[in-house]
Amino acid sequence: MLTLFELCGARGDVRFSPFVWRIKLMLAHKAIPHETKTVTFTDKAALTGSGVKTVPVIKDGDKWISESLTIARYLEDNFSGDRLFETPLAAEQAVIINNWFDRNIVMPMFPMIVTDIYDALDTANKKYFKATREPRLGGRKIEDMRAGRDELRAAFRANFSPLESILATNAYLSGETPAFADYCLMGSLVWPHIVSDFDPISESAVLRDWRDGMFDQFDGLAGNAPRAV
């Protein structure tokens, strides 16, 4: 059976990686049976043999596959079920979509929720997270990052425009049913939902409504996920 490796916090049931959540939703989309195993920032023993130290990672038989777009293409090519990409060409062009979400959604959200992620970790992982993530914060301390995040959210609002334009005339980013682009966005939005009470998209009714619908997909897979808050 295929194995998905997930990042967890101090509580093993709190799985918060936005990139892993993309894959969790894609596995559900294609109805692929799988099991899960957890890693933490400081304990990657379960990934021994994979050649990588970051998730998402899947193991299918003797094959290790990492990085969310590579995994998505692997799932599409090797498993039946509903399609993630309309055509093989769309799968090749998906790097544009993948990178856009990484740069315009994931990266701007990080400073808004970094303190909440930190709070969801145990002592050893807090030390590691602080040492590796604080240098990205422009000289600010992780513990101070909740101050000013309302202003960050207001600036973040501008990034929603292309998404809102699509959702104004479509039920999903991919059209009538969700597919790869929807799971890229939803995986990114499950991340703050699980670790924080702060909502980075509260200023967009269009995105909130879309997210609510995605929370209900696959019998509430994302909506019912255990939270740290």
In tens, the pLDDT along 36-86 reads 999 999 999 999 999 999 999 999 999 999 999 999 999 999 999 999 999
Instruction: Specify the pTM.
Output: 0.98
Long-range CB contacts for residues 40-46, cutoff 8 Å, separation at least 24: 40/7, 40/8, 40/9, 40/121, 40/122, 40/125, 41/7, 41/121, 41/125, 41/128, 41/129, 41/132, 42/124, 42/125, 42/128, 46/5
Domain layout of the chain by residue ranges: 2-78, 88-220
- Give me Rg for the CA atoms of the chain: 17
**Average pLDDT of the residues of the chain:** 98
| Sign of the dihedral defined by the CA atoms of residues 49, 133, 39, 20, in that order | negative
Helix ranges (H only) for the chain are 18-29, 68-78, 88-101, 107-119, 123-133, 149-156, 161-167, 180-195, 205-215, 217-220
Average pLDDT for 191-218: 98
Distance of alpha carbon 210 from the chain centroid = 16
Q: Identify whether the C-beta of residue 3 lies closer than 8 Å to the C-beta of residue 37.
A: yes
DSSP 105: I
**Max alpha carbon distance in the chain (Å)?**
48
Question: CA separation (Å) from 128 to 119, 132, 218?
Answer: 13, 6, 34
pLDDT in tens, 141-185: 999 999 999 999 999 999 999 999 999 999 999 999 999 999 999
SS3 assignment, position 39: strand
The pLDDT of residue 190: 98
CATH architecture of structural domain 2-78: 3-Layer(aba) Sandwich (3.40)
- Phi/psi of residue 36, nearest 5 degrees: -125, 150
Nearest Cα to Cα of residue 26 among 73, 65, 63: 73
- Name the CATH architecture for the domain at 88-220: Up-down Bundle (1.20)
Please give the pLDDT value at position 121: 98
Summarised one tens digit per residue, pLDDT across range 207-220 is 999 999 999 999 99
Residue 56's identity, in one-letter code, is: P
pLDDT tier at 97 (50, 70, 90 boundaries)?
very high
Q: Are 101 and 189 in contact (CB under 8 A)?
A: no
Three-state helix/strand/coil letters over 186-214: HHHHHHHHHHCCCCCCCCCHHHHHHHHHH
40, 10 contact by CB (below 8 A): no
Tell me whether the CATH fold assigned to 2-78 matches the one assigned to 88-220: no
* Over residues 130-143, mean pLDDT: 97
Burial label, 58 (beta-carbon count in 10 A; 0-12, 13-18, 19+) = buried
Q: What is the mean pLDDT of residues 81-104?
A: 97
The per-residue pLDDT for 222 is 98
pLDDT at 196: 98
